[in-house]
A and B are shown apart, each in its own frame.
Chain A
Amino acid sequence: MSGKLPQKKFFRQRAHSNPFSDHHLDPKSPAEMDWSAHYPAFVCEENPTESSFDMPTKQVGRPLMKKKIEFADLGCGYGGLLFSLSTLYPETLMLGMEIRVKVEEYVREKIIALRLQHPGQYQNISIIRMNVMKFLPNFFEKGQARKHKARVITNQLLAEYAYVLRVGGIIYTISDVKDLHEWMVKHLDEHPLFERIPDEEVEKDPVIPIVRTETEEGKKVERNKGEKFLSCYRRITN
């Protein structure tokens, strides 16, 4: 049995989706989100026993999950980063978030296909279509996430990112557009809840090479042989 990988060319969509238009919202709150369909391999068997990493999430009328999502890729595009990190951190639940319908569909189908092609693998990643700018806190509890990749940044939104990131959690930003990079750095530098991680330390992070080469931004730059700008910030308290 082999799942065919979806082909990107059938899933093209213009790069912009209006984040201010009204979309349907589910769930109402993190407690009501049913993640069991997203990560069937991580659903607790009858009696949830000890979990290695985190306490199981107690959910209202939902199957208990062994773990909570800890990596979020906000604006994940075609999911390159997710697929690479999936095998690097097979025990960490990761979620991509993308607003474009067709792009979300592509990633969803690729996950299904990869799970079939590689039994036991790619169980820890999933994708959801959503508007990060509006509904991020509906999906994550306070301090739930450990890592975050984001390119949508304003002063006001950083408060929401800080809310879902636990103290010590890391936000990765990457862009091939210098102006955008500078914009993100400026806002993150100014924000009292984030501190920049020094470059030497950044280079030691095993996630970094992947963020560089596997994100949509990264891939595009590889192709174009252009520059790419990366910066990482740690969530601190204030």
Chain B
Amino acid sequence: MAYRLPFGKLLHHPARNLLILVYGSHFQALDSSTGAIIASTRTLYSDNADHEPTTPQVKYISTSDVQEASVRAITFHDKVDGSLLASSGEDKLLKVWDIKEWKLLSSRSVPKRVVSIAFNNDGSQILTADKFGDVYSYPTNPENTSELLLGHVSMITDMVLTPNNKFVITADRDEHIRVSQFPKGYNIESYCFGHTQFLSTLHILPWDSDLLLSAGGDDFIALWDYVPGRLIQTLDIKNFIQNQIIEANESNIDATNTIPESKNIAVMSISSSIVMQHIAIIVEKFPGVLILNWDAEQRHVKYMQTLSLNANPLDCAYDLRGNLWVSSSSKDGGDIDEGLITLFLRQDNNKYEKVSRDHQLVYQINKFGTMKIDELPDLYTTSQLRKDPTDWRKQKNQNEEEEVPEEASEESTNETISLPKKKTLPKGESKRKKKRIRTE
């Protein structure tokens, strides 16, 4: 069975009608006001059966320049004239692209796999956060040397540079959000404490840039005043997810891929639109997008609605007019296939209207997007960040309980505050050793 590889990552330019859609190691660029594919790193998909007479006029990027493995991080330099795009990922290559000419400007090796990337305001530096836990600053000009800004003893899962470029904020798998000064990353300004599970995504509110949204393996998303590290709000989103799943089951809509396997939820991404101050949240293996709106008076987020999908979304992005573009994982040729990209047009009443897959804005990308593959890769890696630690206290107690009977009588004869002499051994120590201690 052949599949169309879905778009794993969407990124919309903050000032231009430009949407970058990433699939595997490739990407395509779309004019989000017309729906025309502008550029592609790979020949457009065609299923031959009904060959399209009007193939889009596309600027092809040289195949030899594309990333050698999946792109995990991509960013625009969105200030000044905004002609730069940087990307990196599993191939440990950092690439900088000119998005006017659609050509590669530079490519260089980085020490570890990059998970997040950002330009500073003047475009002179590119920050990378990697799986090893370090944040480096690379000069955009590849001839200059990089600098280590900061590091976590944990896997960094996301990073943002604040709009004023005063702070770099990093999130890791060990529940930490760290706010470090930029560029002097060795000065830690604060920590945002409150998560109890891994973090996967950070998002600064573009209309209130002192505030940060964070989410990951917890049931909630958190809103922070990040400079002092103050928690403003947690919004439980699990209820909305569960209600939706129940409704979906009752109405018998596609049941093939709607039910998360576990009760845990994992937030994959957060996007926002400054137009209506809406926030869109993608949850792993949940066939919908949660929409929150903003209460400017209270400085709170509020749940607004769920946009339902017939397939599991992977990422989403708002365009300049507040339309929401959602990429889904859907099987090639399936009846319920909504296409690679589902578009929700913003209505005047701040509601959204889902358009058909043949709507002109999504027609080309759904027709010619991505490529055919035989087997889908694992698209859901967020929940794999969840930890399953053994609780050493419980383990210890269990061990003690197991061994107590022998010792109990002896213990009780000792003085009230005596200290246990015979200690339980950690799991895995040999019986021989145990025996030796017992006979002492």
A contact residues vs B (CB 8 Å cutoff): 1-7, 10-11, 13, 19-25, 28-31, 101-102, 105, 109, 112-113, 116, 129, 133-135, 137-138, 142, 154-160, 162-163, 191-193, 238
Q: Are A29 and B392 in contact (CB under 8 A)?
A: no
Residues of B within 8 A of A22 (CB): 387-389
Q: Which of B152, B417, B419, B421 has the most CB of A within 10 A?
A: B419
Those 3 A-B pairs whose CB atoms lie nearest each other, nearest first: A156-B151, A29-B193, A22-B389
**Interface status of B124 (Cβ within 8 A of chain A):** no
Cα A20 to Cα B174 with chains together (Å): 10
Given the interface pairs A156-B133, A163-B188, A192-B184, the reply to whether A24 lies near B392 with Cβ below 8 Å is yes
Q: How many whole Å from B145's CB to the nearest CB in chain A?
A: 16
Given the interface pairs A134-B174, A159-B188, A192-B186, the reply to whether A112 lies near B387 with Cβ below 8 Å is no
Q: Are B426 and A102 in contact (CB under 8 A)?
A: yes
The majority secondary structure among interface residues of chain B is loop
Q: What are 9 of the A-B contact pairs (CB < 8 Å)?
A: A1-B417, A3-B417, A10-B422, A21-B389, A29-B191, A109-B420, A137-B176, A154-B151, A193-B187
Quick one: which of B150, B418, B422 contacts A156, CB cutoff 8 A? B150
Q: Are A20 and B153 in contact (CB under 8 A)?
A: yes
Q: Which chain A residue has the least Cβ–Cβ distance from B191?
A: A137
Q: Are B186 and A1 in contact (CB under 8 A)?
A: no
Q: Are A160 and B419 in contact (CB under 8 A)?
A: no
Given the interface pairs A25-B174, A29-B193, the reply to whether A157 lies near B187 with Cβ below 8 Å is no
Cα A152 to Cα B50 with chains together (Å): 65
**Interface status of B293 (Cβ within 8 A of chain A):** no
Given the interface pairs A4-B418, A25-B174, the reply to whether A159 lies near B185 with Cβ below 8 Å is yes
Quick one: which of A3, A21, A135, A162 contacts B419, CB cutoff 8 A? A3
**Interface status of B134 (Cβ within 8 A of chain A):** yes
B contact residues vs A (CB 8 Å cutoff): 133-134, 148, 150-154, 174-176, 178, 180, 184-188, 190-191, 193-196, 387-389, 391-393, 396, 415-423, 426, 437
Q: Are A5 and B184 in contact (CB under 8 A)?
A: no
Q: Which of A134, A138, A157 has the most CB of B within 10 A?
A: A134
Residues of A within 8 A of B178 (CB): 137
Q: Are A1 and B416 in contact (CB under 8 A)?
A: yes
Q: Are B423 and A105 in contact (CB under 8 A)?
A: yes
Given the interface pairs A3-B419, A133-B153, A155-B151, the reply to whether A101 lies near B392 with Cβ below 8 Å is yes
Q: How many whole Å from B325's CB to the nearest CB in chain A?
A: 36
Given the interface pairs A193-B187, A238-B184, the reply to whether A138 lies near B419 with Cβ below 8 Å is no
Residues of B within 8 A of A156 (CB): 133-134, 148, 150-153
Q: Which chain A residue has the least Cβ–Cβ distance from B425?
A: A102
Cα A9 to Cα B415 with chains together (Å): 21
Q: Are A28 and B175 in contact (CB under 8 A)?
A: yes
Cα A134 to Cα B173 with chains together (Å): 10
Q: How many whole Å from B247's CB to the nearest CB in chain A?
A: 33
Cα A31 to Cα B175 with chains together (Å): 16
Residues of A within 8 A of B153 (CB): 19-20, 133-134, 156-157
Quick one: which of B134, B184, B417, B422 contacts A116, CB cutoff 8 A? B417
Quick one: which of A20, A155, A163, A192 contacts B148, CB cutoff 8 A? A155
Q: How many whole Å from B216's CB to the nearest CB in chain A?
A: 14
Residues of A within 8 A of B415 (CB): 1-2, 4
Q: How many whole Å from A227's CB to the nearest CB in chain B?
A: 30
Cα A27 to Cα B175 with chains together (Å): 11
Quick one: which of B187, B387, B392, B421 contacts A10, CB cutoff 8 A? B421
Q: How many whole Å from A24's CB to the nearest CB in chain B?
A: 5
Residues of A within 8 A of B416 (CB): 1
Cα A158 to Cα B180 with chains together (Å): 13
Residues of B within 8 A of A142 (CB): 188, 190
Cα A56 to Cα B188 with chains together (Å): 24
Cα A19 to Cα B133 with chains together (Å): 14
Q: Are A109 and B190 in contact (CB under 8 A)?
A: no
Residues of B within 8 A of A21 (CB): 389
Q: Which chain B residue has the least Cβ–Cβ distance from A160?
A: B188
Q: Which chain A residue has the least Cβ–Cβ distance from B193?
A: A29
Q: How many whole Å from A19's CB to the nearest CB in chain B?
A: 7
Q: Which chain B residue has the least Cβ–Cβ distance from A27?
A: B193
Residues of B within 8 A of A135 (CB): 174
Cα A7 to Cα B419 with chains together (Å): 9
Extra A-B contacts (18), CB below 8 Å, given A2-B417, A3-B418, A24-B391: A7-B421, A11-B423, A13-B426, A22-B387, A22-B388, A22-B389, A25-B174, A25-B196, A28-B193, A29-B191, A29-B193, A102-B423, A116-B417, A156-B150, A156-B152, A159-B151, A159-B186, A238-B184
Residues of B within 8 A of A134 (CB): 153-154, 174
Q: How many whole Å from B72's CB to the nearest CB in chain A?
A: 21
Q: How many whole Å from B178's CB to the nearest CB in chain A?
A: 8
Cα A235 to Cα B191 with chains together (Å): 19
Q: Which chain B residue has the least Cβ–Cβ distance from A131?
A: B153
Q: Which chain B residue has the least Cβ–Cβ distance from A136?
A: B153
Quick one: which of A6, A11, A154, A162 contacts B188, CB cutoff 8 A? A162
Q: How many whole Å from A10's CB to the nearest CB in chain B?
A: 5
Cα A162 to Cα B134 with chains together (Å): 18
Cα A160 to Cα B176 with chains together (Å): 12
Cα A113 to Cα B175 with chains together (Å): 36
Residues of B within 8 A of A155 (CB): 148, 151, 186
Cα A1 to Cα B417 with chains together (Å): 8
Q: How many whole Å from B253's CB to the nearest CB in chain A?
A: 37
Q: Are A159 and B150 in contact (CB under 8 A)?
A: yes
Cα A17 to Cα B332 with chains together (Å): 49
Residues of A within 8 A of B152 (CB): 156
Q: Are B186 and A193 in contact (CB under 8 A)?
A: yes
Cα A21 to Cα B392 with chains together (Å): 12
